[in-house]
Structure 1
């Protein structure tokens, strides 16, 4: 049917393209710079003729030490088609992190697409495809968030305004999410200095350019930081959690409230870069493809999502692999 999903998470589209995972294909596509979508990138650099991504994603890859050699780097702006032996590749906008893309492949035999990671609003559905592969990280009604993104950001602002008077506010998130939060806080009038590490700062500068929002004063974090708003990668929570101040975890897996205190000086804020269950169904309903494939490598509920799509939307659907 022109698509496949391998055990390693490669989304196969048409004859020539592998997306977000390694396979023996002419072109490797990277939808965005998160580790579960960069799997096997070294293999693809060696075995594929080109590695395609948006210019912003290629810049992110450089900062993260995953840069692609110039001779194999294919920088594709949104909506710019490129043809390989009769198959046309187009990257479409996706709202996830800076530079994220959906993937559209048009062939003589049919049209195939992959949403990549996305959230709505802000991700225009690819309509009328023969087969659509969908990310369904939150692919169950049990994982539905009963509030909007604005509620979570407002809760974060309240925590910052209250806690910054008492000491430093540590904010932890993943690459891309941190940079988006910096931009969102600036849009909402936060003028405080922000401190972070060199890698997060480099990514923030790229993201600010992508979003068209001034970054404001973001400075490098020193080891003896005792005040201010500090943003670092989620993986460093265990390293810094015993330091004075409030510690805020940005996580889409907080499903009880937009924000809650989880003990002591730790907060969990429900900010996600993935579509909620209802947004996944909304996207598929608007897209109305001939068939739906749910990526089961990156979702634990893919089979449930596929059954729901078939029963509620009347569209043939299956989880793969």
Structure 2
């Protein structure tokens, strides 16, 4: 315990599919309607409609407005990065998380204690979105998606350059928001002879990136004859369900961009590109934040707890009904 500071063990707790701060009476990443919600980023397992008040970064709000057009616009509160505000005596600041465009860490300051909720985050370079901003905190509330010493994410540039050796057209599965735009940028930059074709379900996210991202993406929305005519230098980006439905596709090379080994099985080439921290980056991030306590979410924190035993207290975030 720090001098003159008391960490509140129940400051943020898991309440169903949400994280709740009773001291400020607000929720983070609530997947059911609540009065006041702070959204870390626009992925569907963090952002949902129906809240009376929603606080989020400009890109996250823009994406949610397109995704949920019936949700009243006056319910949104757009909060730029590094802009602080108060909810019931708690000072809140959104900081870049480096996960996807607009993704935010949420710094909460109360009674002299700094609680940092990471959301999803990565340290790898990704010019399509804001780089992660590093701050120190007393309590780090971190995702542990890949909190395993066996997980090491390779260099994304080396991974994407593997596609330069493929002479076939490529069917590339990836998530629609964040990953697809990062892959497009990597292909544009490191596989310049490849033409990026885009599944129509990815169009909205790409066009929002065109408006908000600091980089320019080069792509073409897929047409029925594009993979059958012309040079075999095309990379067709498709969402996961579409990728799985093409299991009988011929004359294409199948790859899926992900950090998960299970999603590399049965493909023609592995493409390990992840938007989460691996074990090494997680430990590096912790060393920079210098927390007194770590509360884990989204994954299994058991190996992290064992690794940091007698150094930093690590536990799962408390749950309430």
CA drift at 1:58: 1.7
On the 8 A contact 1:114/1:133 being kept in 2, the answer is: yes
Q: Which residue of 2 aligns with 1:108?
A: 111
Q: Which residue of 2 aligns with 1:269?
A: 271
- Are 2:175 and 1:174 aligned? yes
Residues matched between the structures, number: 297
- Over the residues paired in the alignment, what is the CA RMSD in angstroms? 2.7
Question: Using the alignment, how far apart are the partners of 1:133 and 1:74 within structure 2?
Answer: 24
CA drift at 1:106: 1.7
Q: Which moved more, 1:29-38 or 1:272-281?
A: 29-38
Q: Extract unaligned runs of 5+ from structure 2.
A: 1-7, 125-130
Question: Using the alignment, how far apart are the partners of 2:70 and 2:40 within structure 1?
Answer: 14
Q: Which moved more, 1:115-124 or 1:273-282?
A: 115-124
CA drift at 1:85: 2.8
Q: Which residue of 1 aligns with 2:37?
A: 28
- Are 2:237 and 1:234 aligned? no
> Structure 1 residues 232, 94: closer, same or farther in 2, change over 3 A?
same
Structure holding more helix per residue: 1
- Are 2:159 and 1:152 aligned? yes
Question: Using the alignment, how far apart are the partners of 2:81 and 2:34 within structure 1?
Answer: 22
SS at match of 2:108: strand
Compute the TM-score of the two structures, normalised by the length of structure 1.
0.82
Question: Using the alignment, how far apart are the partners of 1:74 and 1:289 within structure 2?
Answer: 30
Q: Which residue of 2 aligns with 1:248?
A: 255
> Structure 1 residues 7, 86: closer, same or farther in 2, change over 3 A?
closer
CA drift at 1:95: 0.9
Pick one of 5, 13, 18 that aligns with 1:10: 18
> Structure 1 residues 86, 67: closer, same or farther in 2, change over 3 A?
farther
- Are 2:133 and 1:124 aligned? yes
On the 8 A contact 1:61/1:67 being kept in 2, the answer is: no
Q: Which residue of 2 aligns with 1:308?
A: 307
Q: Which moved more, 1:179-188 or 1:89-98?
A: 179-188
Counterparts of 1:202-241 in structure 2 under 5 Å? Answer: 202-222=204-224, 225-226=227-228, 228-241=234-247
On the 8 A contact 2:20/2:28 being kept in 1, the answer is: yes
On the 8 A contact 2:116/2:141 being kept in 1, the answer is: yes
SS at match of 1:142: coil
On the 8 A contact 2:222/2:236 being kept in 1, the answer is: no
- Are 2:288 and 1:283 aligned? no
Q: Extract unaligned runs of 5+ from structure 1.
A: none
> Structure 1 residues 187, 17: closer, same or farther in 2, change over 3 A?
farther
CA drift at 1:273: 0.5
> Structure 1 residues 37, 52: closer, same or farther in 2, change over 3 A?
same
Q: Which residue of 2 aligns with 1:70?
A: 73
> Structure 1 residues 140, 217: closer, same or farther in 2, change over 3 A?
closer
Question: Using the alignment, how far apart are the partners of 1:8 and 1:235 within structure 2?
Answer: 27
